[in-house]
Amino acid sequence: MGLFNNTIKSKGSLFARNGLIITALLLFAAATIFPIYFMIISSFGDPVEAGAMSYSLIPAKISFESYKFFFNFSAHSWDWLKNSFIVAACITVSNVFFATLAGYAFAKMKFRGKGILFAILLGSMMIPTQVTQVPLYILIVNIFELQNTYTALIMPSIVTVYNIFLVKQFMSSIPVEIIEAAKIEGCSQPKIFWYIIMPLSKTVMAVLAILTFMAAWNDFFWPFLVTNTMDMQTIQVGLKNFRFANTTYFAPMMAGATISAVPMFILFFSLQKYFLEGVAVGAVKG
């Protein structure tokens, strides 16, 4: 069965082959998660200056002093987490709703100009972010004068083309007959969407929610551009401040990095299936 040879007769050589492969995979896995492991264990060190720091791979003792140091470092350490949460939550909710609506329309509804509009959206995904960066900054900061507001942090990501594309791909597999039957029964489009399409699309909506939340939580560049006081920064931007203010305090830096990553790790381990599914949805057909 399958790609790998199953004509290996003896159990011994099969065991040896699989053992060899597993060893290789484990070594590579160790190299992959090493930085994360290193981040977490060093965050339990004492907040001493770099020169006095011991770089051990196994912690001699576990201390939460560096975490205390991180939260006492700035009056806004908690604000960063709160801001990140507000921004990521708003972006997630609006994307799930509006991208699902638009994705459904592009996948299953008929209206004039649909093909061209979708082609334009799709084409725009090829444009490098650098092109829109400067004009978008001018628009939000100089024209709308929204600098340092939640609106500036949220608005540009309110619904992204990638998410619309993801939903459309998924919805292409919903049979048209269901929708037509509903129409014959006299069901209007909003009702079809609410009572038929949304319940059928729970998976893609979950995938969308998770990937969007992750992207918004981890975003560094845009929040960095549009915030200019510490109380409006997100955790990613706050982390950077911290690094430049205290280049020599490594353990608290690691504590900060861990704090910014832990919510995503928790989400990842509890909803792993959706994360891993979501990655392949847009890329592999069928």
* Closest CB to another protein among residues 7, 202: 7
Query: Which of these, 80, 83, 41, lies nearest to 62 by C-alpha position?
Result: 41
Contacts 24+ apart (CB under 8 A), 72-80: 73/242, 73/245, 73/246, 73/252, 74/230, 74/238, 74/241, 74/242, 75/230, 76/230, 76/231, 76/233, 76/238, 77/238, 79/230, 79/231, 79/232, 79/233, 80/233, 80/234, 80/235, 80/237, 80/238, 80/239
* Closest CB to another protein among residues 63, 236: 236
The one among 240, 245, 248, 270 contacting another protein by CB under 8 A: 240
* Closest CB to another protein among residues 111, 202: 111
The one among 49, 135, 150, 228 contacting another protein by CB under 8 A: 135
Interaction of residue 233 with another protein, rule CB under 8 A: no
Under DSSP, is residue 172 helix (H, G, I), strand (E, B) or coil? coil
Q: Which stretch binds another protein (CB under 8 A): 69-77, 85-93, 198-206, 262-270?
A: 262-270
The one among 13, 49, 72, 114 contacting another protein by CB under 8 A: 114
Interaction mask 42-81, another protein, x per CB under 8 A: x-------xx-xxx--------------------------
Rounded distance, CA 77 to CA 170, Å?
40
Distance of CA 145 to the CA centre of its chain: 28
* Closest CB to another protein among residues 85, 98: 98
Q: How far apart are the first and last CA of the chain?
A: 21
The one among 16, 24, 27, 245 contacting another protein by CB under 8 A: 24
Interaction of residue 27 with another protein, rule CB under 8 A: no
Q: C-beta of 180: minimal distance to another protein in Å? A: 6
Rounded distance, CA 210 to CA 268, Å?
9
Q: C-beta of 4: minimal distance to another protein in Å? A: 4
Interaction of residue 173 with another protein, rule CB under 8 A: no
185-203 burial: b if 16+ Cβ within 10 Å, else e: eebeeeebbeebbeeebee
Interaction of residue 142 with another protein, rule CB under 8 A: yes
Rounded distance, CA 6 to CA 15, Å?
12
Query: Which of these, 204, 200, 173, lies nearest to 286 by C-alpha position?
Result: 173
Q: Which stretch binds another protein (CB under 8 A): 61-69, 74-82, 185-193, 198-206?
A: 185-193
The single-letter DSSP state of residue 142 is I
The one among 134, 173, 199, 202 contacting another protein by CB under 8 A: 134
* Closest CB to another protein among residues 28, 64: 28
The residue count for binding another protein (CB under 8 A) is 101
Q: Which stretch binds another protein (CB under 8 A): 61-69, 85-93, 154-162, 201-209?
A: 154-162
Interaction of residue 11 with another protein, rule CB under 8 A: no
